[in-house]
Amino acid sequence: MKRKLIAAIGVAAMTATVAACGSGDDGGSGGSSDSITVWLMDGSAPEPWVEELSAAFEAEHDVEVNVEIQQWDGIQDRVITALSEDGTVDVLEIGNTHTVGYANTGGLADLADFADEPWNAPMLESTRVDDTLYAVPWYGANRVVIYDKGIWEEAGAEVPTTRDEWITALETIQENTDAEPIYLPGQSYYVMGGFVADAGGTFAVEEGDGWAGSLATPEGQAGMEFYAELQAFSNAPTDIDEAEPQQSTDVVPNGNVASWIGLGWEAAGAIAAIEEQGGEADFGYFPVPGETADQLGHVFLGGSNLAVSGRAGNSELANEWLRMATSQEWAQKFVDANNGGVVPNRTDVTASPEPGSFAEAMVASADVGYLPPLTTGWANVETLPNPIKELMTQALNGDDYQSAAEEADAEITERINRE
């Protein structure tokens, strides 16, 4: 039976794309008794894994699996629309920080039958609302420190295992080379959030029936102070983030950068950009250090969950596909297909990345991953102008931290409690 791997490329094209993907002429493959529609995000799953899983599921259930590849740009609008319609999609991948919001729309099915699987505990946190399971973990990813081996060797800097050693390495690079010790723009707030988490804090805390910003605290200030200590070694402006300009393709390949903090796809992008310019990248990787050698620094644990639409055309088949895709067998195959470069969703799955690889450094930090407040209103906080970013710029520019943080907390509190 023919399998379909289809790219959906935008909000305007969604209706036409979904209709074109259906089996038969009913225009809604999710509503067909002999097919199932699965939405996966661009870049999430290696195509061989998708094809092998689809073939196995089709053989077992005698149905057609239509996998539609979605782009991240505009995905929230497409998902909300799909969850309000009958039979548009059966199973869908959703970002872990967006799961609560989609669940609160009433569009996701209750997955209580999946609760007893040996899920990765930090990843599982993003799948529940009021003890109801609305999704299951699929994979995680986090940032590590990426460094230029040649520059570090020239400087005589050693790979650190603690914060103090990290600062010493940056000082050594600054003293012995012309390189920028670390590229760290002023508004990389998920990096800063890890330092806040190291101190025992968070961006916002639950308060009564709502949430309240919590950066005007000793923990918030401690996190920001360490971020500022690192940022002092960077030439990056204090009023931009890592995406504009994109650090991996616009900054690192065109500058003399000794180190930076990034994700796996950013490391790959930097390597490709350097090679396109005729150069050769020689990167090393290490986890974000903690205050002591036996405790790594906290890192934002991004990633995706898998959920079933409450209006799935075939909820029974949707649950069966979800069970197969996240089983120990297929979860292990997924990790292996990614060369160990993702954080496994289950405790009975092992990531075995190559020694010295980005993946090895990333997986080492998986147990100290943190998540932002898991509530629908968190998306409002991240909308520009982001109050956390503005606080960071003010602090780096020398403004009084406490006053600026109190203003940021008030804005966070107002936004996060807004549906």
Residue 220 token pair: 């918030």
Which segments of 282-417 are extended strands (E)? 283-286, 299-300, 302-308, 343-344, 369-370
Q: Give the angle 271-276-278 at the CA atoms, nearest 5°.
A: 100
Return the bridge partners of 261, or none: 145
Check whether 203 has a pLDDT greater than 80. Answer: yes
DSSP summary character for residue 288: P
Q: Which of 47-61, 64-78, 376-390 has the highest mean pLDDT?
A: 47-61
CA 305 – CA 130 distance, rounded (Å): 17
Model confidence pLDDT, tens digit, residues 322-339: 999 999 999 999 999 987
Would the pLDDT of 293 be above 60? yes
Q: Do domains 4-140+302-360 and 144-300+366-416 have the same CATH topology?
A: yes
Task: Report, as an integer, the average pLDDT of 349-362.
Answer: 90
Higher pLDDT, 259 or 255: 259
Determine which helix (DSSP H) or strand (DSSP E) holds 227, and give its type and residue range. helix 218-231
| 91, 321 contact by CB (below 8 A) | yes
pLDDT of 18 > 70? The answer is: no
Confidence of residue 33 (pLDDT cuts 50, 70, 90): low
Label residue 299 exposed, middle or buried (CB < 10 Å: 0-12, 13-18, 19+).
Answer: buried
Q: Return d(Cα 29, Cα 24) in angstroms, integer.
A: 8
Flag whether pLDDT at 408 surpasses 90. Answer: yes
Per-residue model confidence as pLDDT tens digits over 189-199? 999 999 999 99
- Residue with the bigger pLDDT between 367 and 304: it is 304
Region 15-39 average pLDDT: 50
**Fold category of 4-140+302-360 in CATH:** D-Maltodextrin-Binding Protein; domain 2 (3.40.190)
- Region 90-118: what's the mean pLDDT? 94
Please give the share of the chain, as a percent, with pLDDT higher than 90: 76
**Integer CA distances (angstroms), 112 to 121, 133, 134, 346, 349, in order:** 16, 6, 8, 17, 22
- Per-residue burial over 350-377, b if 16 or more Cβ lie within 10 Å, else e, is ebebeeebbbbbbbbbbebbbbbbbbbb
**Residue in 396, 372, 364 with CA at minimum distance from that of residue 230:** 396
Domain boundaries, the chain: 4-140+302-360, 144-300+366-416
Q: How confident is the model at residue 254 (pLDDT cuts 50, 70, 90)?
A: very high
Per DSSP, 413 falls in state: H
**CA–CA separation, 16 vs 343, rounded Å?**
35
pLDDT on residue 281: 95
What are the tokens at 18? 């979904």
Look at residue 97 and tell me whether its pLDDT is greater than 80.
yes
Per-residue model confidence (pLDDT) at position 264: 87
CA distance 308 to 169: 48
Predicted pLDDT of residue 369: 87
More confident position, 341 or 245: 245
Query: Residue 105: its pLDDT value, please?
Result: 87
- The reported pLDDT for the residue numbered 339 is 79
pLDDT 10s digits, 211-234: 999 999 999 999 999 999 999 999
Residue 20 reports pLDDT greater than 50: no
Q: Is the peptide bond before 245 cis (omega within 30 degrees of 0)?
A: yes
Mean pLDDT on 143-171: 98
Q: What span, in angstroms and rounded, lies between the C-alpha atoms of 311 and 64? A: 19
Using DSSP's 3-state secondary structure scheme, residue 39 falls into: strand
Burial class (CB in 10 A: 0-12, 13-18, 19+), 195: buried
As a whole number, the mean pLDDT across the chain is 90
Cα–Cα distance measured from residue 17 to residue 37, given in angstroms and rounded to the nearest whole number? 12
Given this model, what pLDDT does residue 3 score? 40
Question: CATH topology for 144-300+366-416?
Answer: D-Maltodextrin-Binding Protein; domain 2 (3.40.190)
- Residue 17 in this model has a pLDDT that exceeds 90: no
Terminal alpha carbon distance of the chain: 44
| CA 279 distance to own-chain centroid | 29
